[in-house]
Amino acid sequence: MSENSANGVSRFAVELGVAALTAAFGAAVCYGSLDIGAGWTEMGPDAGYFPFYIGLLIVFGSLVNIAHAFLKHRGTGEIFLDAGRAKVVASFLLPLVAFGAVSAWLGLYVGTALYIAATMLFQGRYRWWIALPAGLGVSLVFFVVFEIGFQVPLLKGPVEAWFGIY
């Protein structure tokens, strides 16, 4: 996937990869729309009429992006992501993945508290006695806003059940 793998991933390869992904998404939208009917009936458009054409627009835009990538970025050797940038991106992406996994397992409020505290500790280099109350405080504010204020229950886990919060 890289044009010049010694220095990193090329912009040309990334442009083609993203365009291919969006084209596949557009094709999936079109295919799904055909399953539910993408035509026009006596009653008006079928349920998949508008999504089908939106999918076609996504595919068309992706093809334009592929053509643009070939015309503008092919052979330029422009690097999109090198090792230094990948490390910075990973330092933000991996905690987010861990946040999602922890939230699915322990609930959103516990995941939020751990994510805020860990991010402040390891990336912000705050002291633990600042990071931990900040994480718990943000999670408490989320609980008050969503559960009490808006009465929208969010994902809870065993810790909330242990406290009797459902």
Strands 9-10 and 79-81 come out as: antiparallel
13 and 54 co-located in one domain: yes
Q: Is 156 left (phi over 0), alpha (psi -120 to 50) or beta?
A: beta
Cα–Cα distance, 37 to 57 (Å, whole number): 18
Q: How many domains are there within the chain?
A: 2
54 and 97 co-located in one domain: no
- Among 47, 76, 105, where does a domain finish? 76
Q: Enter the tokens of residue 69.
A: 């990538």
86 and 51 co-located in one domain: no
- The Cα-based distances of 57 to 16, 25, 49, 54, 62 in angstroms read 17, 11, 13, 5, 8
At residue 42, the pLDDT reads 87
At residue 111, the pLDDT reads 94
- Among 76, 110, 125, where does a domain finish? 76
Cα–Cα distance, 30 to 68 (Å, whole number): 23
- Residue type (1 letter), 28: A
Range of the domain at 61: 6-76
67 and 86 co-located in one domain: no
42 and 103 co-located in one domain: no
71 and 96 co-located in one domain: no
Q: Enter the tokens of residue 128.
A: 């633990």
Per the domain annotation, does 53 fall within a domain? yes
- pLDDT < 70 stretches in the chain: 1-6
94 and 128 co-located in one domain: yes
At residue 6, the pLDDT reads 59
Residues making up the chain, counted from first to last: 166
156 and 93 co-located in one domain: yes
Q: At 44, give phi and psi (nearest 5°).
A: 125, -160
Per the domain annotation, does 1 fall within a domain? no
Per the domain annotation, does 166 fall within a domain? no
- The verdict on pTM exceeding 0.75 is no
Inter-residue contact 117 to 131 (CB < 8 Å):
yes
Find where tokens 């990334």 sit.
14
- Among 41, 76, 111, where does a domain finish? 76
- Residue type (1 letter), 29: V
